[in-house]
Amino acid sequence: MSVPRYWRNEVPRYRLQGEECSQCGAKYFPTRPVCKCGSTDFKPYKLAERGEVVTWTTISSAPTGFEKYVPYVVALIELEDGCKVLSQVVDIAPDAVEAGLKVEAVFRKVKEDGKEGILQYGYKFRPVVE
Amino acid sequence: MKTGRQVGIIGYGAYVPMYRLKASEINRVWGGFGAPVEEKSVVALDEDTITISVEAAKQAVKRANIDPSEIGAVYVGTESKPYAVKPSGTIVAEVIGATPSVSTADYEFACKAGTEAMQTCIGLVGSGMHKYAMAIGADTAQGRPQDALEYTAACGGAAFIFGERSAETIAYLEASYSFVTDTPDFWRRSKEMYPRHGNRFTGAPAYFKHITGAGKALLEETGYKPEDFKWAVFHQPNAKFPINAAKIMGFSMDQIEPGLVSPRIGNTYAGSTPVGLAATLDVAEPDDKIFVVSYGSGSGSDAFIFTVQDAILEKREGPKMETFIERKEYVDYATYLKNRGQIIK
Ligand SMILES: [Zn+2]
């Protein structure tokens, strides 16, 4: 990811922040320019930080920049507010992940742009710690 | 030292990564016999000082229950900055929502960088310059393979938000003190990967001199005696030093027990005294007095006296230090090196 693109997406990725349609209340993460109701009027919306795993897959052949993490889990997570996000699930062995696993958002390093480039951070999820 | 207006901790958070390396595993690889701590905390592949700081900072904001945009300063004390140039605090402040009306900087003073950040925040809030200020001590400490420090160099951190003393304060500051001399007991030159240390030189003229120097001066200044405190926290580079420091200063094992976490997680460097204070706040009751003395090589100590208030009972929800210490998975030496990015492909 280029530095400007990373920078533009910092707040959504850092704070798990999307947008809510001012007309119909539909929530979007990532955001989109036009709502399904046709409105283009949005306000910031902070997503819930807890949810549960709906489906998941274990990645063993990773895209460039993610090789060192294999095997790792990418899951579709339904948050407590009904929003769905796709995220890496960490701090758990891939074979221990199951549907309904309660997870919470954490802030982690996502990718390193080599030894000299920027460090890219963002949300991931882990089993809830209580 | 006392502040112009009274200051206290209004929220705190701590975090320890879940991976552990046993001293016995290091001995297996290097044929050693040491065990200055039983095991130490190790980061996951995707963790560093910034992610540790964020985890502690978010918990502190949640417990303080404040609008993060009112935090006027975010200072991160560490000796393992992910960027050599670019403050860790900029990222932490952005994540918690303290930007853009905020000042940030990374503090460096070996293991006392975190308490140095606390002193600064206390001054900024005490002067009335900021409503709230956040100090973080966090590290993913480096230990050269087969060096004595490899057993203890660990990962973790804690964050404290300071504000003017009120009924919302969980522990208010009575007084603090700083004690610094030029003592080259431990250092890392620019661009070097691992620190060097002066072996036995790290004890009496370094750790003990500065801990007792700061501690005794603060007791004299305030008129308190060791028995006036329910709890005490001394910088914990291993299991032995803080116990000896307590003895020398006239404190008991009971007083240091809740904050003495190094035997189970190692030395979290700039996070070491801060996580000890967090673990102590986790069990403290209203009116308890807490005596805190950090130590950082180079060398110096910061000493603090806090008195716990009623608000502690409502402001420590969520995972405690004990939760994070008990949440653990052991790794072997190869995984430890991999997680630290020390395997060169
Ligand atoms: Zn709409």
- Out of B82, B83, B95, closest to residue A107 by CB: B95
Distance (Å) of CA B4 to CA A13, A42, B119, B175: 40, 45, 14, 11
| CA pseudo-torsion sign A69, A71, A76, A77 | negative
pLDDT tens, position by position, B157-173: 999 999 999 999 999 99
Q: How far is the CA of A79 from the centre of ligand 1 (A)?
A: 20
Predicted local confidence at residue B344, as pLDDT: 81
Pairwise CA distance, residues B148 & B150, whole Å = 5
Q: Tell me: pLDDT of B199 over 80.
A: no
Q: How far is the CA of A12 from the centre of ligand 1 (A)?
A: 19
Confidence of residue B197 (pLDDT cuts 50, 70, 90): confident
Torsion of CA B62, B66, B67, B68, to 10 degrees: -60
Interchain CB distance below 8 Å, A119 and B45: no
* C-alpha distance from A24 to closest chain B C-alpha (Å): 27
Position B108, amino acid: E
Give the CATH architecture of domain B173-313.
Answer: 3-Layer(aba) Sandwich (3.40)
Predicted local confidence at residue B345, as pLDDT: 76
In A15-74, the residues whose Cβ lies within 8 Å of chain B are 15, 68-69
This model's pTM is above 0.95: yes
Lowest pLDDT segment from B31-40, B125-134, B187-196, B216-225: B187-196
Pairwise CA distance, residues B149 & B155, whole Å = 13
Q: How far is the CA of A36 from the centre of ligand 1 (A)?
A: 6
Predicted local confidence at residue A79, as pLDDT: 98
Average pLDDT for A29-35: 94
Verify whether residue B235 is a known catalytic residue.
Answer: yes
Confidence of residue A84 (pLDDT cuts 50, 70, 90): very high
Q: Tell me whether strands A84-89 and A17-21 are parallel, antiparallel or unpaired.
A: unpaired
The chain-wide mean pLDDT, for chain B, equals 96
How many CB atoms are located within 10 Å of the residue B28 CB? 12
DSSP result, B23-91: HHHHHHHH-----SSSEEEE--TT--HHHHHHHHHHHHHHHHT--GGGEEEEEEE-S--S-SSS-HHHH
CATH of domain B7-170+326-336: 3.40.47.10
Predicted local confidence at residue B196, as pLDDT: 86
Predicted local confidence at residue B341, as pLDDT: 87
What are the residue ranges spanned by the domains of chain A? Answer: 1-47, 48-130
- The class (CATH top level) of A48-130 is mainly beta
Pairwise CA distance, residues B20 & B155, whole Å = 10
Lowest pLDDT segment from A23-27, B202-206, B208-212: B202-206
Q: Which of B25, B47, B111, B121 is catalytic?
A: B111
pLDDT tens, position by position, B270-329: 999 999 999 999 999 999 999 999 999 999 999 999 999 999 999 999 999 999 999 999
Location of each CATH 3.40.47.10 domain in chain B: 7-170+326-336, 173-313
